[in-house]
Chains A and B, each alone.
Chain A
Amino acid sequence: MNTLNSTSAVSVRVDGIHHRYAGSVALESISLDIEPGELVALLGPSGCGKTTLLRIVAGLVGQTRGTVRIGNDVVDAMPTNVRGAGIVFQNYALFPHMKVEANVAYGLRARGVSAGEASATARRTLDMVRMSAFGNRYPRELSGGQQQRVALARTLAVKPRVLLLDEPFAALDKNLRLDMQIEIKRIQRELGITTILVTHDQEEAMSMADRIAVMNAGRVEQFDTPEVIYDCPATLFVATFIGTANLLPGNLMARDGFYEVACEGGGALKLGQALPFSEDGRVVVAARPEHLALTTQSDITLPATVEMVLPMGPSFVYELTLSDGRTVKVTQPRIADLPRYAAGDRVGLSLRAGSPAGVFSA
């Protein structure tokens, strides 16, 4: 019998979590519903509270208000050691005075599993992370990637109901990071274990997570799939934090069937829709470089001058300046029938047909 197959994945529900730390608000009304077996990334700049939220789920920090549910249980009163939340720390926190196998068997021994059975399970778990050859080494004798595999095995050996990963790839170099991301994603899929990943790296969150909770200053700005987060950012923060966005301030006006933004430096942008904000007034349009198109100038385009053209493989990157001096970045696919421009050309900027652009109140 393979004891590593998880019994059944559980949901994690975080409801109205508030946390104060030394008088200041660290987390404010955080609510997340995480489906069984889902991998959710908490993404945000440092100090946004994402690690605190993870530690609250693990029970290492007690929240000021709100509830955490794992499966059907409210776990607020449960101490860490009975919550069933396994956590992998950023620095791995392997026990330096124990060999690798003893590290992995530690949790099982703590749960009263016999020594023989614990070391058998430890060896099986090490096998799963491809570290079975290293059971007799001390953690200090392993490389960063190997230590991470051991830390993961140690956490998975006790079959946690939820897997919590705190910046697990931050200490790895770039090539190894990609390997470990694929590896962890593979193991997570295999076990079907509900997983929360804390990261400040948007590419990591995009490539690994089923859904991303973008956090800023103790709040969740948006909780959705990577596609929606990228294409339809809910707030100006999300639009600028994820990917690149050109910010164009102006005045929103509803027209017949479409919206128009009269931009500050002259010219206008025509929008099919003005989500999520759609009242007339001062707004900021956040448009991604690939969502903008270059055409000839007209009264429904933004007049701009090409400053630089960077032919980057499959696409051209144009750097333009608007009449008010603002710089805008546009990428155009390298397709033969699209006109190409050179530095100094005067062009009109418009939104590519069907492309979303976030409109936020200024």
Chain B
Amino acid sequence: MKTQSVAPRSGSPLALSVPLGIFFVGFVLVPMLLLAYVSLFEDMEMTRHGFSQYVKFLSDGFNLGILGSTLLLGLKVSILCTLLGFPLAYLYVQIPGRWQGPLMLLIVLPLLTSSVVRTFAWVVILGRQGIVNTAMANLGWIQEPVKLLYTPGAVAVALAQIELPLMVLPLITALMNCDRNLRDASLALGAGHWRTFWKITVPLSMPGLLAGGLLVFASSVSAFVTQTLVGGGQQIFMPYYMYQQAIQANNYPFAAAIAMLLLVCVLAVVVTVNALGRRNSGFVHA
């Protein structure tokens, strides 16, 4: 009744979305188009139009290697987050309600601290005189400090910790939507806990798993600060490569082309995974 009386006064409800629409056009769409436009110049002075920046990137093995290692990093972090996040989300759904509040706080805590702070924490943990090396030395496992920081593994682990909430939160939602009776029905039909987990729980939490995986992937391939600080100078990923070309080499067209290519790659992954997910998600809320 209330909404009916309000609707005629404010005109079409579509009007309510105008401010957000203007914001999106002004601060998302226009910069994107500008970026695409800049990437279509052939020279650094931006005088001639052409596709040479894209040709230059795609014909050079060094550049393709950077793109490949960036996407691989996203994949590694997504897998790590799945392996760490699923047990955590499962634990959250299983424990009594009074423990869920404190656990949720622990889960979202990484989101409440700045990523620079979290990254420096990992630098401290993994450094030559860091907690891990000191502990292993004290236990007599190693004589010399092991190189942990500035390795691909360190970047993946640090990013997995930082992005973990993005995986756990959608997973918790998916698991909560899952009828408990389905698990009980599976047990009563003679299936063990593992079979029930793989045949019932995992398929039904797939939408959350895919959503979480995409969020983790998209944010870890573009996590400039963590990639750069934990990865050090030896490993170059796409975001740092962009920064280098734009700020240090002043080559804006090439930097824009790198940005466009990363954007296209991430979009391709998102669209593919979403299409896969749509085939599965029909039954979830049936």
Residues of A within 8 A of B (CB): 55, 58-60, 79-82, 85-87, 89, 91, 93, 95-97, 106-107, 110-111, 138-140, 154-155, 158
Q: Contact between A97 and B203 (Cβ–Cβ < 8 Å)?
A: yes
Q: How far is the CA of A288 from the CA of B195 in the complex (A)?
A: 54
Q: Contact between B203 and A93 (Cβ–Cβ < 8 Å)?
A: no
Q: How many Å from the CB of B276 to the closest CB on chain A?
A: 14
Q: Contact between B191 and A110 (Cβ–Cβ < 8 Å)?
A: yes
List the A side residues contacting B140 at CB < 8 Å.
none
Q: Contact between A81 and B188 (Cβ–Cβ < 8 Å)?
A: yes
Cβ-based interface call for B173 (8 A): no
What sequence of 0s and 1s flags, for each residue 198-236 of chain B, a beta carbon within 8 Å of any chain A beta carbon?
011001100000000000000000000000000000000
Contact partner, B182, options A55, A93, A110, Cβ 8 Å: A93
Q: Tell me how many residues of B have a C-beta within 8 Å of chain A.
A: 21
* Most interface-central of B181, B190, B199, B204 (chain A CB within 10 A): B190
List the A side residues contacting B179 at CB < 8 Å.
91, 93
Q: Contact between B283 and A81 (Cβ–Cβ < 8 Å)?
A: no
Q: How many Å from the CB of B241 to the closest CB on chain A?
A: 42
Q: Contact between A91 and B286 (Cβ–Cβ < 8 Å)?
A: no
Pairs of residues from A and B, 3 with the lowest C-beta to C-beta distance, nearest first: A140-B286, A107-B189, A110-B191
Given A93-B179, A106-B199, 4 more contacts at CB 8 Å? A80-B188, A95-B182, A111-B190, A158-B190
List the B side residues contacting A60 at CB < 8 Å.
184, 187-188
Cβ-based interface call for B192 (8 A): yes
Q: Contact between B280 and A97 (Cβ–Cβ < 8 Å)?
A: yes
Cβ-based interface call for B185 (8 A): yes
In this complex, what residue of A is CB-closest to B195?
A110
Contact partner, A87, options B188, B192, B283, B286, Cβ 8 Å: B188
List the A side residues contacting B280 at CB < 8 Å.
97
In this complex, what residue of A is CB-closest to B188?
A87
Q: How far is the CA of A14 from the CA of B280 in the complex (A)?
A: 43
In chain B, residues 36-68, which have Cβ atoms closer than 8 Å to a Cβ of chain A?
none
User: 8 pairs across A/B with beta carbons < 8 Å?
Assistant: A55-B184, A59-B188, A60-B184, A85-B188, A91-B181, A97-B280, A106-B186, A154-B185
Cβ-based interface call for B284 (8 A): yes
Contact partner, B188, options A58, A96, A111, A140, Cβ 8 Å: A58
Q: Contact between A110 and B188 (Cβ–Cβ < 8 Å)?
A: no
Q: How far is the CA of A96 from the CA of B286 in the complex (A)?
A: 7
Q: How many Å from the CB of A173 to the closest CB on chain B?
A: 20
Q: How far is the CA of A58 from the CA of B187 in the complex (A)?
A: 10
List the B side residues contacting A85 at CB < 8 Å.
188
Q: Contact between A96 and B283 (Cβ–Cβ < 8 Å)?
A: yes
List the A side residues contacting B199 at CB < 8 Å.
106
Q: How many Å from the CB of A197 to the closest CB on chain B?
A: 16
Q: Contact between B189 and A86 (Cβ–Cβ < 8 Å)?
A: yes
Q: How far is the CA of A110 from the CA of B195 in the complex (A)?
A: 8
List the B side residues contacting A110 at CB < 8 Å.
186, 189-192, 195
What sequence of 0s and 1s flags, for each residue 148-189 of chain B, a beta carbon within 8 Å of any chain A beta carbon?
000000000000000000000000000000010110111111
Contact partner, A81, options B182, B190, B204, Cβ 8 Å: B190
Q: How far is the CA of A81 from the CA of B189 in the complex (A)?
A: 6
Q: How far is the CA of A60 from the CA of B179 in the complex (A)?
A: 15
In this complex, what residue of B is CB-closest to A83?
B188
Q: Contact between B187 and A81 (Cβ–Cβ < 8 Å)?
A: yes
Q: How many Å from the CB of A292 to the closest CB on chain B?
A: 46
Contact partner, B185, options A55, A87, A140, Cβ 8 Å: A87
Contact partner, B181, options A80, A93, A138, Cβ 8 Å: A93
Q: How far is the CA of A96 from the CA of B182 in the complex (A)?
A: 9
Q: How far is the CA of A140 from the CA of B283 in the complex (A)?
A: 7
Q: How many Å from the CB of A91 to the closest CB on chain B?
A: 6
Q: Contact between B189 and A79 (Cβ–Cβ < 8 Å)?
A: no
Q: Contact between A155 and B204 (Cβ–Cβ < 8 Å)?
A: no
Contact partner, A80, options B182, B184, B195, B200, Cβ 8 Å: B184
Contact partner, B191, options A59, A96, A106, Cβ 8 Å: A106
List the B side residues contacting A96 at CB < 8 Å.
204, 283-284, 286
